[in-house]
Amino acid sequence: MESLKQDLTHLFEEKFGSKPDYYFQAPARINLMGEPAHYNQGFVLPCAINYQTLLAATPRGDNKIVVTSGNYKGEVTDFELSIPITASVQKTWSNYLKGVSTKLLDRGFVIKGANIAILGNIPMTEGLGSSASLEVVVALALTQISGYDLKPKDLALISQEAEADYVGVNCSIMDQMVSANGARNHAMLLDCRSLESQQITIPKDIALLAIDPNKKRVLINNEYNNRHHHCEMVARHFGVKAMGDISLEHLEENRKQLEHTAYRRAHYVISENQRTRETATALSSGDFKRLSQLMMQAHEAMRDDFGLNVPAINAVVEIVQEVVGESGGVRMMGGNIGNSAIAILPMDKIEAVREAMHRHYYERTGLEAALYVCEASNGASIL
C-alpha cells in the first residue's frame, strides 16, 4: 500500500500543487459463497481483500469538488455541491462520486468542497467490487473532512443507493457492506435482508485465490432478466417477497406446480443460501473436506441449475480441484455472468496451482489465466 500511497501523493501534487491533508482507503472484496443474493435477500460470505482504492484530499474554501483519477490517465472532473449535480451522459467513473455526493446532500449532510485524487490497484477482473470500493472511499472521505463520523453500515447504504439511483446498477448491498466493514483474517457472513452480520475466522495458512480466465463473457440482458423473472415468479407462487423465505422442503413439495426452468433457478438460489451458512461453519472449524464438497456443489449448481455453463471457468475449476483435492475448494464466481473463479486453499498449494494452470489451462483453452492471491483485510479507514 505504501507504494500506491506514494504514487497517489505524486498525482495529487502534480494536479493541485501541494501535498494532501488526508488519505483514505476502501478495499475490494471477494465472495467465498452465496450467489446471487441481491434480489433474493439471502446470505453471502464475502471478505474484504488487500487490493484497495486510495483517496487523497484537501478541503477547499468553496463548494466545489475537483477530482482526478490516476486509473483514468489523470482525467479531471469537477462539480458544484451547491446546485443539483447532473450525471454525465456517458457512464464514467465520475458518476460514482456525483452519486455519493448527491445521496449525502439528500440526507442533509453539509459537505465541504475538496480537491481529490484517486488511485487504485484493484485487478481489472470482474467480481472484485471495484465500484463499491470507489463509492465507499468517497463516502468516507467526504463525511470525514466535513466533520461527520458515520457508521460502516451507513456508508454502505449510501454507497449502494448511489450506485442504484445515480449510476443505474441495482447492485447487492454485499460489496459496499464488506468494503466498509471488513475485518482482517475474517470473512463476513451477511444476511442481505436484515443486514445483520457475523465475522467468520479464516484459519491461518489459508489463501484466497481469485482467478480471471481471460475469457470475457458479456452478460446478455435477456439472460439476466430471465433469471430475475424466474426468481420473482417462484417468490410470487409462494406469496413471499424473495426466495430467502422459502425452504428446500417447501420448494420440493410444490415442484410439480412450477415451470421446470423456474424450479431449477429456485433450487439453485435456495440451496446456495443453505450452502453459504454451511460454508461459514466449515471454514471457521477448518473442515476443508466439507468446504471442498460445498464449493463443488455450488459450482455445479450454478452451471446446471442456474444456467451458467462457461467452458473456460469449468476448465479452471477442474484444474484447480485436481491440485487442491480435499484440502480446499474452488468454484465459479459471479452470480449472473460467471466470468471468474474463487479458490480457498492452503498457502503451500499456491505454486502447484500456478504451475497446473500454466500447463493445462493453455492446453485446453489457448488462454493464459491471471491469478491473484488475496488476503482478508480490514474495511475502509483513514490512513
Nearest to 379 by CA among 228, 153, 161, 219: 153
d(CA 317, CA 313): 6
Assess contact for 141 and 116: CB atoms under 8 A: yes
Active site residue 175: yes
Q: Classify strands 64-69 and 114-120 as parallel, antiparallel or unpaired.
A: parallel
Coil, strand or helix: which one is 212? Answer: strand
Nearest to 186 by CA among 380, 377, 381, 327: 377
Cα distances (angstroms) measured from residue 49 to each of 46, 174, 186, 201, 369: 9, 14, 10, 14, 20
- Residue written as cell 482467478? 211
Separation of first and last alpha carbons in the chain: 10
Q: 201: exposed, middle or buried (C-beta count within 10 Å: 0-12, 13-18, 19+)?
A: middle
Among 78, 106, 154, 175, the active-site one is 175
What would the DSSP string read from start to end of 24-46?
Answer: EEEEEEEESS----TTTT-EE-E
d(CA 347, CA 183): 20
The catalytic residue positions are 175
